[in-house]
Amino acid sequence: MKRAVEQYGVTFIPLAGDISCLDGHERILQEVLNYCGRVDVLVNNAGVAPAQRMDLLECRPESYDRLLNINLRGPYFFTQKVALQMIQQPRDKAGYAPKIIFITSISSRVASINRAEYCVSKAGLSMTAQCFAVALAPYGIHVYDLQPGIIATDMSSAAREKYDRLIEEGLLLTPRWGTPEDVGKAVAGIVSGYLDYSTGAVIEIGGGYGVARL
């Protein structure tokens, strides 16, 4: 990834950390500030699926806790820390509005009973995005909720046959798997300022999954 990013003539600085460990958040933020001096964009993309898909009635507390800590609790408090930094730092001389983007999921609003803890974590993250959008609007900080659908990643590979079949049967208006690039393009558009009048927006990246049809 570092090589892919730097081919565009920009600097890529990887910083290791565990988003679920709140004690490490300050270190990560300070390392960013040491390199960059300020934070203008935060993309909350950390997320995991259940180690084992289990029925809602069999879900174990350890699986629930793991997903809620990584997918929701960690991003919630890391965003809080970054938002406070954005508020106190001088505004960009070019007038750039800081951006906070949450990568949630269509699972924020679509129930999957064999991975209910994942759906709960993403639903909570979507509401987190809405709350931060309201709280940060007075400071000129824009917040967005991007909801990917069926995206071809390691996380979705366990259900490949299921999703292949559903897509073949007409689940999506755009009949293909989504890609990480599809999500990246949406992030790039927001970061570039193309949606500066849309703070709080919920944007599905799902090939038309959410369009109601008769």
Encode the chain (214 residues) as per-residue pLDDT tens digits: 788 888 988 889 999 999 999 999 999 999 999 999 999 999 999 999 999 999 999 999 999 999 999 999 999 999 999 999 999 999 887 889 999 999 999 999 999 999 999 999 999 999 999 999 999 999 999 999 999 999 999 888 888 999 999 999 999 999 999 999 999 999 999 999 999 999 999 999 999 999 999 8
Domains identified in the chain and CATH numbers = 40-205 (3.40.50.720)
Model confidence, pTM = 0.95
- The per-residue pLDDT for 18 is 96
- The per-residue pLDDT for 28 is 97
Using H for helix, E for strand and C for coil, what is the string for 73-109? Answer: HHHHHHHHHHHHHHHHCCCCCCCCCCEEEEECCHHHC
